[in-house]
Amino acid sequence: MNIYDSQTKYGKDEEFSLQVARGLIPGHSAITVFGYNPDVDTSEESVWPNGGTVPHPTAASVLKVSSTDAADASPSGTGARTVRITGLNGSFNEVSETIVLNGQTAVNTVNSYLYVNGLTVTSVGSGGANAGDINVGTGTVTAGVPAVLYDMIAIGYNNRTTGHYCVPTGYTAFLVHGLFTAGQASGSTSITGKLLVHSPDDNIVRVGAITTLNNGVVQYMFNYPTAIPEKSCIGATAIGSANNNSVSSMFNICLIKNFQG
């Protein structure tokens, strides 16, 4: 059996970031967070498909997972059949589980979640993708939509596109790279994009980065990565100078386990 290992052991160069992505550096993880909002208007919104802002709950809760389409169901649905949810519990520790979908009927999570960091379709039927919006939230579920939405997978995406991430306890997230893209039919309006950092210690939301653009893309590189402490959340938001803008975001972080002497 062939065993593939780090090339640095053989005197060859291999980028540190590649080694992190390959899981060769203990205590380090590479995380990429994508966000997309198809309709940003003149009020500041999170970069996610639902519009408005991603909620910051005050207590961990059992979540309800459902779809707006009955085809997203196991074992014989043509859409998504199972999803994997990853997030933080009330102690800000990582928890995850696989949910077997039941169409518009809500399925409760086993774990309680304070934040959702990942939501991915893990099995599908003949359609190859989720047929409806897959929603995760709390409260009364009506036609697959919970009263309070925590996160979602938009129709056909098979993965969340929520520009939001919360740092587990015992870790520090180092922001190394990000970008915003924006487009508008007229091409004459601008977008202001922000990366906001929310600290639970003082409950203050601070601007980690800000940029303006008009029908294009802006990237920013942090030669000295920005440290985001444990239990903090980083989220992308945008606001347009006029209505009807499509906005996407992406940021890369290196998640490093805190040193324990």
Is residue 2 in a domain? no
Is residue 220 in a domain? yes
Instruction: Tell me, yes or no, whether 67 and 146 share the same domain.
Output: yes
pLDDT at 117 over 70: yes
- Which sign does the torsion angle of CA 202, 203, 207, 209 carry? positive
Instruction: Tell me, yes or no, whether 216 and 143 share the same domain.
Output: no
Instruction: Tell me, yes or no, whether 42 and 106 share the same domain.
Output: no
Pairing of strands 245-257, 28-40: antiparallel
Instruction: Tell me, yes or no, whether 171 and 248 share the same domain.
Output: yes
Of 153, 179, 206, the one marking the end of a domain is 153
Q: What pLDDT, in 10s, does the model give residues 8-40?
A: 666 567 888 888 888 888 999 999 999 999 999
Instruction: Tell me, yes or no, whether 228 and 170 share the same domain.
Output: yes
Instruction: Tell me, yes or no, whether 186 and 217 share the same domain.
Output: yes
Instruction: Tell me, yes or no, whether 187 and 250 share the same domain.
Output: yes
Structural domain boundaries enclosing 74: 61-153
Is residue 158 in a domain? no
Is residue 91 in a domain? yes
pLDDT at 42 over 70: yes
pLDDT at 62 over 60: yes
Is residue 130 in a domain? yes
What's the pLDDT at 9? 62
CATH number at residue 236: 2.60.120.20
Distances (CA, A) of 195 to 29, 156, 157, 226, 259: 21, 26, 23, 12, 26
Is residue 138 in a domain? yes
Instruction: Tell me, yes or no, whether 169 and 229 share the same domain.
Output: yes
User: What's the domain count of the chain?
Assistant: 2
Of 94, 122, 153, the one marking the end of a domain is 153
What's the pLDDT at 12? 63
Who wins on pLDDT, 143 or 3?
143
Instruction: Supply the pTM of this predicted model.
Output: 0.91
* Average pLDDT, rounded, for the chain: 92
Is residue 5 in a domain? no
Residue 182: other Cβ atoms inside 10 A: 26
Average pLDDT for residues 125-143, to the nearest whole number? 98
Residue 33: other Cβ atoms inside 10 A: 22
pLDDT at 261 over 80: no
Instruction: Tell me, yes or no, whether 49 and 67 share the same domain.
Output: no
Instruction: Tell me, yes or no, whether 177 and 235 share the same domain.
Output: yes
In the block, which residue shows the tokens 């859409």? 79
Average pLDDT for residues 78-82, to the nearest whole number? 98
What's the pLDDT at 260? 76
Instruction: Tell me, yes or no, whether 143 and 220 share the same domain.
Output: no
pLDDT band at 72 (very low <50, low <70, confident <90, very high): very high
Is residue 100 in a domain? yes
What's the pLDDT at 57? 81
Q: What pLDDT, in 10s, does the model give residues 141-195?
A: 999 999 999 999 999 999 999 999 999 999 999 999 999 999 987 777 899 999 9
Among 48-52, 95-99, 131-135, which is the least confidently predicted range?
Answer: 48-52
Residue 174, token pair as written in the block: 């180092």
Residue 155, token pair as written in the block: 């129709």
pLDDT band at 58 (very low <50, low <70, confident <90, very high): confident
Question: Would residue 249 be called left, alpha or beta, if left means φ above 0 and alpha means ψ between -120 and 50 degrees?
Answer: beta
Containing 20, the helix (H) or strand (E) segment is helix 16-21
Instruction: Tell me, yes or no, whether 131 and 172 share the same domain.
Output: no
Of 130, 153, 176, the one marking the end of a domain is 153
Among 26-30, 68-72, 77-81, 109-113, which is the least confidently predicted range?
Answer: 26-30
Among 49-53, 112-116, 185-189, 209-213, which is the least confidently predicted range?
Answer: 185-189
